[in-house]
Amino acid sequence: MSSSDQPFDVSSDEAREAARLQVQQLREKKSVLDDDSIDVILRNARSHYAWSDRPVSTQTLETIYQITAAGPTSMNTCPARYTFVTSEEGKKRLAKSLKEKNIPKVMNAPVTAIIAFDLAFWEKLPFLFPHEDRRGFFKGKDQYIYDTAFRNSTLQGGYFMIAARSLGLDVGALSGFSNEIVDEEFFAGTTLRSNFLCNIGYADETALFGKLPRFAFSEVCSFL
């Protein structure tokens, strides 16, 4: 459904029952992921910065987005916006923002996604959150708008990476760049702001090194 379509009454008894049945049926069909699936999307997944020349199709990128879009955000704000940089010209423009060591990582990737957020996201709430007008939560509250957009677009960026991995692709997120330069180069005169970059493709595994350590449960988790 597009933003121009008549919204479905999500709070109706019919909608609630349909949602309940959908969740129950899914849990009955697959209550947990198997270990191999968990390994693919997170546990044994790696960040990649060297790539094969195998292309990534537009259809695959659309599927990644569709999976990503299903993930929850606060008030269903969905502030993330995605710019897929695939052309040599686009990569050269993006390279202006990169730290030197990150230039080859981006130039050699089939696709580099600019994960951005739209500061005007709240204007779309009548479509995204149709059962209650929440625009008043945001109008005139610039810091709250920014915090909500940044936090939830980061969350959506995480969904994006897991979605790509679930379809058999590899990813490599980058924060070693200038957000200001990206925004000037790609989003000047708009309400979009960059969050982070993410290379997508099929990795050249020969460039991998040993996996870096992680904290143990007892070091970073607590109970109250």
Tell me the CATH number at 142: 3.40.109.10
Instruction: List the Cα angle 67/59/104 in 5-degree steps.
Output: 90
Asked, for residue 54, whether it belongs to a domain, the answer is yes
Asked, for residue 152, whether it belongs to a domain, the answer is yes
Q: 185 pLDDT exceeds 90?
A: yes
Domain count for the chain: 1
pLDDT at residue 61 in the model: 98
Asked, for residue 219, whether it belongs to a domain, the answer is no
Domain enclosing residue 137, as ranges: 47-205
Q: 1 pLDDT exceeds 50?
A: no
> What does each C-alpha distance from 57 to 164, 182, 210 come to in angstroms?
12, 24, 30
Reported as a single tens digit per residue, the pLDDT across 21-60 is 999 999 999 999 999 999 999 999 999 999 999 999 999 9
Say how far apart CA 204 and CA 79 lie, in whole Å.
Answer: 32
Asked, for residue 133, whether it belongs to a domain, the answer is yes
In the chain, % of residues over pLDDT 90: 92
Find the helix or strand (DSSP H, E) in which 89 lies.
Answer: helix 88-95
Asked, for residue 119, whether it belongs to a domain, the answer is yes
Task: Band the pLDDT of 190: cuts 50, 70, 90.
Answer: very high
pLDDT at residue 12 in the model: 86
Region 153-171: mean pLDDT is 98
pLDDT at residue 137 in the model: 96
Length of the chain, please? 224
Sign of CA dihedral 114, 120, 122, 127: negative
Comparison of pLDDT for 108 and 9, the residue scoring more: 108
Asked, for residue 36, whether it belongs to a domain, the answer is no
pLDDT at residue 6 in the model: 52
Comparison of pLDDT for 2 and 9, the residue scoring more: 9
Strand partners, 14: none
Asked, for residue 182, whether it belongs to a domain, the answer is yes
Asked, for residue 29, whether it belongs to a domain, the answer is no
